[in-house]
Every structure is written in structure tokens, then in C-alpha cells.
Amino acid sequence: MSTRNAVAVASVLTVGVFASVLFAAALATSPSLSLLDGTNFTLVKQAQIRILQVSMTLISTAYTVFAVWLLVIARKEKNTQVFRLTLIALLLIVAAILYSVPTDIAYNQQILSWNPAAPPADWAAVRDAWDLSNMLRAVPSLLAFALQTIAMLSLEVKAAS
């Protein structure tokens, strides 16, 4: 496997994991957590945040490195389709991350400061706001995954021609 193809596969895998975590949270984790009372929600959500803030940072950083690397390769090879699709996918992920700063990340910091034995009166409103903002950032992330996959597949089609 060429370096270009390995980088393309790595970019698809990392953006796929990133999008999958957000999508899984929107489809399964958040609805499950909405069934809990304030104390149990806080305990579970705080544990989830502690794990995911590190892993999602690593995954998004890895994707960014692979995407930029693929952009450099595609530019050298004058492969405009791969370049264009990868650039759009990367911009979508950057937009999702930037959107996360005033929304999800701010909510996460707020939730981490809560006392699980006595969550604030508005804990359910914060939970619902986090759920909505997560759904909104999952959409561009899934689109980025689709575009990055198409970019990788176009490399394979071009190689087979």
C-alpha cells in the first residue's frame, strides 16, 4: 500500500470514529441518559466527559494531521477531486470543533463542576441543550466522513483506471 493510500485510509478511519462517537451519543447515549435522575445523570455524564474530552481531542488531532498530509499529497499529484473533498471535510470538522467551544465544551465544564449529590435546579435544561448542540455538530461530522470516504474511493478508482 502506498503512503498516499495509507494516509487516505487513516483519514477516513479517524474522521469516521470522530463522527461515530457524536452520532452514537445523539442516537443512544443521550436518550439513555435522559432517563436518569439528576444525581445519576451527573455521575455518568461526568465520567463520560472525562474519558471523551481526551479521546476526542486525540482523534480530531489525528484526523487533522492525516487530512493535511493528504491535502499536501493531493496537491503535489494535482488530484483536484481528492484535494477538494478532503479540504471540505476538514473544514466541516473544524467548524464542528469551533461550534463545540461555546456549546458542548462549555456545557461539559459546567457539568464537571456540579456536585452529583445536589445537581443544580436547571440540570435538565443543560442536558437538553448539550444534546441539541451535539446533534448539530454530528451532522457536519457525518458529512465530513462521507466526503473523506468518497475522496479515498476516488483514489482507488483512479488507480484502477
Q: How many Å is the maximal CA-CA distance in the chain?
A: 64
Distance CA(72)–CA(89), nearest Å, equals 15
- Distance between CA atoms of 90 and 66, rounded to whole angstroms? 10
pLDDT digits (tens, 9 = 90+) for 80-119: 999 999 999 999 999 999 999 999 999 999 999 999 999 9
Whole-prediction pTM: 0.92
Give pLDDT, residue 155: 86
Per-residue pLDDT tens digits for 52-89: 999 999 999 999 999 999 999 999 999 999 999 999 99
What are the residue boundaries of the structural domains of the chain, listed by start? Answer: 3-160
